């Protein structure tokens, strides 16, 4: 029950503070693994533990609107470092810091970096939900956005490598191996950056401060009034992102990336509200997750495509080789974009007022159980 609003034992404001502190504690567990703080990303798989509310109405029991598609949460290979050489991939029973370089034993693995970014994104989704009623929104959200940006270069490098591996069936073997080797070196270089441990240490201090401050965070409203404005605003952005993406298909990948942000924020907000009607909300959350993951794969491919254009300019490979890469990437991107638009058109059928009105009734019925 740590990641959802509760019924009888807390106000929305109390729930907001509790969930925010939980996400910050999870981030600190990845930055300070010796502190004994629990994090659900310490499984080594980069996956969250399933929450009780979602498990109760699991997709396996036939509640899904559609079966989920392929997931983006692939296990990223631990990249070599000058000190450690080629470390074996982490297994399910190890701490995500287990394969860090010996010279920097507290340096997180790819799994931990991925988990850290997810904690930040989920906390920002929570903040978006209460944005109109949280006076410190701009300040706190700005801090989180800046720290997420500091992790982006390493995360993007890891994603580029994993995306090439996912494209291996569409490319000649020799091209895959050559590109993997180049991208592996880029990841190793970024992980060996002497500034990275300093960045993570400063990030840890900031999150510890926010965790302590969160005990005193206040909202200007409570109950459904604290949630409805943010819910409607996020949903409105999602509908606008869908419309813009329909116009941008095959032309502007950045539009799809902006749409994905709103989808992911709504996904997390819906997760928080699963208890208002688990039998309906759990499948809803699943579809939101599927849409976000589809858009995420589209974004990953675009990150790789942009980087390969730079490598070609540097003379890292020939125009013919670049053409092989580009054809495979563009075909996958079009497939992912079309799948997202098809799913998004159904998912975002309701206008913000209609969605908020229905969920408000469910909230009221849930509260009436007290």
Query: Model confidence over 266-315: pLDDT tens digits?
Result: 999 999 999 999 999 999 999 999 999 999 999 999 999 999 999 988 88
Instruction: Give the 3-state secondary structure of the chain.
Output: CCCCCCCCCCCHHHHHHHHHHHHHHHHHHHHCHHHCCCCCCCCCCCCCCCCHHHHHCCHHHCCCCCCCCCCCCCCCCCCCECCCECCCCCCCCCCCCCCCCCCCCCCCCHHHHHHHHHHHHHHHHHHHHHHHHCCCHHHHHHHHHHHHHHHHHHHHHHHHHHHHHHCHHHCCHHHHHHHHHHHHHHHHHHHCCCHHHHHHHHHHHHHHHHHHHHHHCCCCCCCHHHHHHHHHHHHHHHHHHHHHHHHHCCCCHHHHHHHHHHHHHHHHHHHHCHHHCHHHHHHHHHHHHHHHHHHHHHHHHHHHHHHHHHHHHCCCCCHHHHHHHHHHHHHHHHHHHHHHHHHHHHHCCCCHHHHHHHHHHHHHHHHCCC
Please tell me the predicted confidence (pLDDT) of residue 1: 44
**Residue-level pLDDT at 124:** 96
Residues 6+ apart with CB under 8 A from 112: 30, 41, 96, 97
Closest CA to 308 of 300, 317, 298, 299: 317
CA distance 319 to 310: 12
- CATH class in words for 12-47+115-367: mainly alpha
Q: Report yes or no: 208 and 229 within 8 Å, Cβ to Cβ.
A: no
- What is the pLDDT tens value at each position of the chain, 370 positions in all? 455 777 556 899 999 999 999 999 999 999 886 554 444 433 333 334 434 333 333 222 223 223 333 435 433 333 333 333 333 433 344 433 333 333 333 566 778 888 999 999 999 999 999 999 999 999 999 999 999 999 999 999 999 999 998 888 888 878 888 889 999 999 999 989 999 889 999 999 999 999 999 999 999 999 999 999 999 999 999 999 999 999 999 899 999 999 999 999 999 999 999 999 999 999 999 999 999 999 999 999 999 999 999 998 888 888 888 898 999 999 999 999 999 999 999 999 999 999 999 999 999 999 888 6
Q: What is the pLDDT of residue 300?
A: 96
Q: Which residues sit opposite 85 in a β-bridge?
A: 81
- Token pair, residue 304, equals 């790789």
């Amino acid at each position: 029950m740590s990641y959802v609003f509760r019924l009888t034992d807390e106000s929305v404001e109390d729930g907001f503070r509790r969930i925010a502190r939980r996400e910050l504690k999870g981030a600190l567990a990845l930055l300070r693994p010796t502190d004994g703080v629990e994090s659900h990303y310490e499984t080594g798989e980069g996956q969250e533990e399933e929450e009780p509310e979602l498990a109760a109405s699991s997709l396996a029991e036939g509640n899904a609107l559609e079966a989920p598609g392929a997931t983006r949460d692939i296990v990223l290979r631990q990249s070599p470092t000058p000190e450690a050489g080629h470390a074996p991939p982490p297994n399910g029973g190890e701490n995500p810091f287990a394969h860090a370089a010996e010279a920097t034993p507290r340096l997180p693995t790819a799994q931990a970096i991925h988990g850290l970014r997810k904690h930040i994104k989920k906390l920002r989704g929570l903040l978006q939900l209460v944005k109109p009623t949280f006076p410190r929104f701009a300040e706190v959200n700005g801090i989180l956005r800046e720290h997420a940006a500091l992790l982006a270069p390493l995360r993007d490098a890891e994603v580029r490598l994993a995306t090439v591996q996912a494209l291996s069936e569409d490319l000649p073997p020799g091209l895959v191996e050559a590109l993997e080797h180049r991208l592996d070196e880029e990841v190793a270089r970024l992980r060996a950056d002497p500034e990275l441990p300093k960045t993570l240490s400063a990030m840890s201090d900031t999150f510890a401060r926010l965790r302590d401050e969160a005990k005193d965070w206040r909202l200007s409203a409570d109950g459904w009034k604290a949630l409805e404005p943010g819910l409607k605003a996020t949903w409105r952005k999602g509908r606008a992102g869908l419309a813009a993406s329909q116009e941008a298909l095959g032309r502007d990948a950045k539009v799809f990336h902006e749409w994905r942000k709103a989808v992911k924020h709504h996904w997390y907000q819906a997760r928080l509200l699963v208890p208002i009607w688990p039998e309906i909300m759990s499948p809803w959350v699943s579809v939101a997750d599927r849409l976000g993951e589809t858009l995420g794969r589209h974004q990953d491919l675009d990150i790789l495509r942009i980087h390969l254009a730079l490598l070609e300019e540097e003379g890292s490979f020939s125009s013919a080789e670049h053409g092989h890469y580009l054809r495979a990437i563009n075909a996958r991107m079009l497939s992912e974009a079309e799948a997202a638009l098809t799913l998004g058109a159904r998912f975002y059928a309701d206008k913000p007022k209609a969605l908020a009105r229905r969920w408000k009734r469910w909230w009221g019925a849930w509260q009436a159980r007290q």
